[in-house]
Amino acid sequence: MRKRGGVRRERERDCKESKKQRDDGRHSQVRTMDAEKQWASEGEATSWMHVDKQRIGKWFSLMLYFLLGLSSWLLVNGAFLELPILFMVSPEGYAIASYIVLAVQVGNIFPVLYVYAFPQVEVTIAIGVNLLVTELAAVLLIFFWDAVAFDHSVGLIVLSAVAGGVGSMSMVTLFSFASRASSQHMTAAAAGVSFNGLLGSVIALIQQPGKSTQRFGATTFFGILAAFILLSVFAFAVILYRTRTTTVKALGLGNDSIDSAGGGQYVAGSSEEEARTIVSATMSSSSDGEESGSVGAYERVPDTDVGMAGQLADETDGEEDLPREVMLTIYGQYAHIALINALKFCILGMYAYSVACYGNGSTLVLWMNIIGLLCDSCGRTFGPSLPHVPTSWFMIVLQSATWGYLMIMVFLGARTPLPGPWGGWVLVFLYGAYNSFFGYDFTIIFVEAPKISRHKAERVCQQLGLWNQAGACVGSIVSFLLVKYVPVFQTFDTSC
């Protein structure tokens, strides 16, 4: 009996211990599940915070490139927006527009020297110097925009040449620099280039130049432009700072050893390959907000399918070794951008004559500038987001048709077939339509052409900038010669 009772007690004790273990296991499982839920919720919150940080970083990076492009043609556009004042005070009268256009093209010597005489200069150094010269030209315009010597507006013409030089340099350096990041950054830079016209237009609307209600003069106008150019200088400084900081993190080095690893060389002037490597780290972990596991995780245009031509181009090492069909496509884009800029700058020095014979000619010239710059900005900004890209031939025909009609109106003058007060406004909006076509086509070329050869994107952008300025130079010379020597402009009477 005693033995049986002992066995029974042992069994009861074992059952109690087993039950206790099961209860402890269930409690432990519940605690584990609660902990997992807590960790999951914390992880989800962290994930959302990381996504928000990515978005903020990406938008901030795009805004910096937008501001960097803001100063490129701001002074040149500003000079044209002040034409209602310049027509009245300059010795050249209505012909001052053609003088400004020609002076702007004299500045083309700057990008030519940079590309062919000083190719070893790092693009970041070129952009920095360009921005400083732009700011200096803006300050000088404040004091010398109305300086006259030898019966010509020497101050305005000389500083317009400097403004054209820095604008031309921006076409060679800005898109080449932005192509190291992504097509989105190139689009942001192009939007900044186009927005400077819109910015100047808003200031001119507030100013009301040439009217009895004019609020301030050209001196104040150029002072405001100088203040906005400082924003571009600040944006570029921040880009360089972010580049260096992110390179330190990506390479896992301290500030003292970053120069030996190549990070400092990017800021001071490195080879293109080293610069690409460091910028790739910047855009992977800083601009796009993503942590890159490798500094070399660089992809020039990651979001684009360039087709067979692009694949063939990627397999070659030099531009001269590209397949024939790829070379023809690239040179076709060079000729395309040269042609549309030749048309653009030809009419730029003459469009004021098309509305000069209307009673409110000064007002129409102002609105021609404003509507033209606004439509150009819209074409550059919203064009790349359109689902369908028209063919190059279609865009050339479209621009040539509107350009041809405007040129006919320029030569007809008082004999215009559009009489009455509404006729001038028809020409204003037609000029706006032409500029929207140009702005769209210009941006599409700079965004799409580098995708033909991904590994040569910087080189293609650089050459596009040169061909762009070559076409603009030809158009400006033609415009100046027409205004200077064609009799219809020599005997032009604005009171017609």
Provide the whole-model pTM. Answer: 0.66
State the Cα–Cα distance between residues 287 and 246, nearest whole angstrom.
Answer: 10
169 contacts 161 by C-beta, under 8 angstroms: no
In this structure, are residues 87 and 216 in contact, taking their beta carbons and an 8 Å threshold? no
**Looking at the predicted structure, is the pLDDT value of residue 169 above 80?**
yes
Beta bridge partners of 149: 152
Write down the mean pLDDT value for the chain. 76
Residue type, 232: S
pLDDT in tens, 148-160: 998 899 999 999 9
Positive or negative: CA dihedral 240, 246, 249, 250: negative
Look at residue 133 in the predicted model and tell me its pLDDT.
Answer: 95
Question: CA 431, CA 205: separation in Å to the nearest integer?
Answer: 18
Residue 38 has pLDDT above 70, yes or no: no
* Rounded Cα distance, 386 and 105, in Å: 32
pLDDT of res. 120: 84
- Residues in Cβ contact with 208 at an 8 Å cutoff, skipping those fewer than 6 apart: 214, 215
pLDDT of 350 above 50:
yes
Nearest in space to 114 (alpha carbons), one of 104, 124, 100 = 124
- Least confidently predicted of 267-271, 318-322, 347-351, 353-357: 267-271
pLDDT digits (tens, 9 = 90+) for 68-124: 998 888 999 999 999 889 988 999 888 898 899 889 888 888 888 888 888 888 888
Q: How far apart are CA 281 and CA 295, in angstroms?
A: 5
The predicted structure's pLDDT at residue 275: 45
**CA–CA dist 209, 217 (Å, integer):** 7
Transcribe 4-43 into DSSP letters.
HHHHHHHHHHHHHHHHHHHHHHHHHHHHHHHHHHHHHHHH
What is the three-class DSSP state of 73?
Answer: coil
- Yes or no: say if 230 and 381 are a contact pair by the CB < 8 Å rule: no
Say how many C-beta atoms besides its own lie within 10 A of residue 467's C-beta. 20
425-471: per-residue pLDDT in tens? 888 999 999 999 998 888 888 777 777 766 677 778 778 878 888 89
pLDDT > 90: percent of the chain: 24
Distance (Å, rounded) from C-alpha 76 to C-alpha 169?
A: 13
Predicted confidence (pLDDT) per residue in 211-231, tens digit? 878 899 999 999 999 999 999
What pLDDT shows up at residue 228?
94
At 270, the amino acid letter reads S
Q: How far apart are CA 198 and CA 373, in angstroms?
A: 6
- Residue 247: exposure state from Cβ atoms within 10 A (0-12, 13-18, ≥19): buried
Contact between 60 and 241 under an 8 Å Cβ cutoff? The reply is no
Establish how many alpha carbons lie within 13 A of residue 340's alpha carbon, considering only the half-sphere containing its beta carbon.
Answer: 29
Q: Determine the Cα–Cα distance for residues 159 and 152; give it in Å rounded to an integer.
A: 13
- Which tokens hold the place of 201? 């237009």
The predicted structure's pLDDT at residue 316: 44
pLDDT above 70 for 291: no
